[in-house]
Structures are given as structure tokens and as C-alpha cells.
Amino acid sequence: MLARRVEKTGQSSTMQIAARAFALKEQGIDIINFNIGEPDFPTPEYIKKAAIRAINDNQTKYTTNSGIYNLRKAICEKLLHENHVQYHPEEILVTNGAKQAVYNAVLASVDDGDEVIIPAPYWPSFPEMVRIACGKPVFIEGGLDNGFKISARQLEKAITSKTKAFSLNNPCNPTGAVYSRQELSILADILIRNKVNIISDEIYEKLVFDDFKYTCIASISEKVKNNTIIVNGASKAFAMTGWRLGYAAGPAEWIKAMDMIQSHSTSAASTISQFATLTALQEPQKIVMEMVAEFQKRRDYMVKRLKRIKGINCSVPQGAFYLFPEISFFFGKSYNGFKINNSVNFVECLLEEAKTAMVPGSGFGMEGYVRISYANSMDNLEKGMDNIENVLSKLA
């Protein structure tokens, strides 16, 4: 009864663990969530007020499918001033979350059998979207030694006559890795030379640490810009995950095709969320800076705690709110009926025994690792790390 594409598509591993953690919580068990993919801060008051104002002003009807003009204009201004890349409103599509922007970009550009290169570890939805579009994900692994970034040589080797697109996630979920301008220039050069389109998911753009200077890949050159869809949105920067507001910027033809696809599925993003995001983009970003400073503090704390545990190998990422430590040292060990042979066993054991939820690396295409989110209060980070340290010390 179901379509073949369903068989080819996997469920998100982040969702599976979240479901188990949720079930334990429903039983009254206090679970510490290190598996969260969203800022723990509330949406700032001035953004909430803008939404309430929109409702009171009766801005509650459909908008044009591509999004209200003033929002698209504000997105252009943001891209120009922050990312040094010039777009016009007809080159912008407002979407129902950044996820839909990626999905539209894939559906509008990937044909049956087309290959899409995806650096691993990856956000699980990238390969699944490619599969839904009947394309073929091709993975390149960026190892811990290289801060989980891929090299020019790896990229060059992965490109074939069927390569249609390259999926970049910068900063990266699940590793927090961020590519520098120089690294991006080298990769972009190879992609442009081989006529490979770029889908650049920049949803964690604002969350960079240590005064890292963020580069949007489309700002490298006009040629790169002409072959790139930038994906971004309000979710992570403004703690607005539930508002479902993302956007894509790119060549008019590609954006028009994505607009058409969206018009036959969800139509425009929520009108209220569009007005709220307009305010978010136009107001000073002091609150965002405060959130970033807090994330950096938590990152430092978590890295320090993880490095203290024998057998855990952890890099210091410069972006997002995730750590991706190596945990394969514990494979072959057991505790209280749990035998750990892979990252799923590791996560299951720590969920039940340390009451701490994280996500297995295998779900992100890399076995031997787990993703830890530090989008949680300092109290919970401390408590979770105490629990983890305690259980891991008993594994034998």
C-alpha cells in the first residue's frame, strides 16, 4: 500500500531517542535532555510582542506564497550587512522552517539518480531528503582529527559525472564544526569548477564562539553565489523553533522553482511568524549575543568535564550547541545488564542508568560517537555530567 520511497527513507534517530526519553518522563522519571536540538532560552519578549501586535492588527490571513515583501526585503538587508552578499526580494523564499527550505531546494534541483555529496557526520534529514527526491546521497567522512571537516582532496575524489549538488551545513549539526573563509574558498573552487550546485544550510550561523568570523559561502564570489542556495531562519538564532520560519536565498530561477513546489504543498509560512521574524531581524541583536556568550560558557564547561573522563575523546567545536565526542573506548564493556557494542547501546545504557538522553552517532552517519547538546541549564549540565561520569566509571 505504501510508496517505495517510504521504504527507502529512514526515521530520524533524534526523534526515536526523544520518544523513549519522553516515555520515561511520562513514567515520572527525571530525564536530563542532552538530546535537544533547540535553544533552551525563551523567544525574546520583543519578538513575542510583535506577533501579538500582528494578531491584533488582523495580520492573520494568507500572505503571498514567497512571504511578505517587507520580510524578504529585511532578509536581503541582513544578507547584505551581515554576510556581504546582495540579493533582491525575488531571490528570497520564506519557508515553514529552515527544513522546508532545504527540502524545497533538493526537490527543485535533484533528479532521479543524481548524486548529492554530503559530508558526514550529517544532519539526518539531508540524506533522507535526497532519497525522497530519488537522488543518491554520497558521503564523505570528516574525521575527528580534522575537526570533522572534509578536505579538498576528499571532495575532488567524490565528484562524478552524476554529482548534482553539495550539501554544506556550516556550522554543523552534530559536530559544531565551522569552516573558515579559506577552507570554504578551496571547497567552493572545486565545486564551481565541476559545476556542482551548493545547498548551504546556515541555520546555526549566529552561534559561533571565540570571536570566530563567520563566512557565508555565497560571499566567496559571484560565481559561487550564482550556484548556491543559502538556507537560514529564525529557529536557532532567535530561539524560535516553534514558530516555523525559515528562508532560502539564491538564483531567481531556482528560488522560483522552490516557490512553485511550496505553493503546492504548505503555501506560505505563518503570517504571524513572518511579522515576528521581521521584528527579530530589524531590532538590535543584543539578546542573541547574550545567548551566544552563555552557550560558549556551557561549551567550555562540557568540554572540560568530558575530557576528564577516561576513554572519551572530544574536540572543541566553534559553533552550534553540540559536542560530538568519541566513545568507542567503551565498546565491549558492560554494566547492569547493558552490553555496549555500538553508539545506540551506549546511549540506551546512559538513558536508563544515568537518566541522561543523548543521540547515537550512527544516526548522523558516524559510529563510535554520540551527540551531546548543551542547550540546557548549567544545573542540568552539571547533574547530567555527574550521572554520566558515575555510570561510565562502572563500565567494565
Ligand X SMILES: Cc1ncc(COP(=O)(O)O)c(C=O)c1O
CA dist 69 and 92 (Å) reads 10
Strand partners, 373: 322
The string of DSSP letters for 342-353 reads SHHHHHHHHHHH
CA dist 7 and 189 (Å) reads 36
The string of DSSP letters for 234-260 reads STTTTT-GGG--EEEE--HHHHHHHHH
By the rule CB under 6 A, 201 interacts with ligand X? yes
CA dist 108 and 386 (Å) reads 47
Q: Binding string to ligand X for residues 110 to 149, with x set by CB under 6 A, is what?
A: -------------x--------------------------
Closer by beta carbon to ligand X, 241 or else 315: 241
Taking the complex as a whole, the smallest distance from the CB of residue 15 to ligand X amounts, in Å, to: 11
The rounded radius of gyration (Å) of the Cα atoms in the chain is 21
Q: At 116, list the grid cell.
A: 548529492
**Residue ranges in 3-42 that form contacts with ligand X under rule CB under 6 A:** 37
- Going by their DSSP bridges, the two strands 370-373 and 136-141 should be labelled as unpaired
Which residues fall within 8 angstroms of residue 22, CB to CB, at 6 or more apart?
Answer: none
Q: Which of 17, 203, 239, 281 touches ligand X by CB under 6 A? A: 203
Q: Which of 54, 71, 93, 98 touches ligand X by CB under 6 A? A: 98
Q: At 100, list the grid cell.
A: 522546508
Q: Which of 33, 200, 241, 318 touches ligand X by CB under 6 A? A: 241
Instruction: Sheet with 370-373: list strands edge to edge.
Output: 322-323, 370-373, 359-360
Taking the complex as a whole, the smallest distance from the CB of residue 231 to ligand X amounts, in Å, to: 7
Closer by beta carbon to ligand X, 36 or else 68: 36
Taking the complex as a whole, the smallest distance from the CB of residue 104 to ligand X amounts, in Å, to: 12
Give the up-direction half-sphere exposure of residue 96: CA atoms within 13 A in the CB hemisphere. Answer: 13
Closer by beta carbon to ligand X, 175 or else 271: 175
The answer to whether 165 and 77 are in contact (CB under 8 A) is no
Q: Find the residue with minimal CB distance to ligand X.
A: 97
Q: How many residues bind ligand X (CB under 6 A)?
A: 13
| Part of the chain binding ligand X (CB under 6 A), chosen from 93-101, 159-167, 187-195, 328-336 | 93-101
| Part of the chain binding ligand X (CB under 6 A), chosen from 91-99, 150-158, 191-199, 254-262 | 91-99
Q: At 82, list the grid cell.
A: 551581515
By the rule CB under 6 A, 365 interacts with ligand X? no
Q: Binding string to ligand X for residues 166 to 195, with x set by CB under 6 A, is what?
A: ---x---x----------------------
Q: Which of 99, 131, 164, 305 touches ligand X by CB under 6 A? A: 99
> Under the rule (CB under 6 A), what is the footprint of ligand X?
37, 97-99, 123, 169, 173, 201, 203, 233, 235, 241, 246
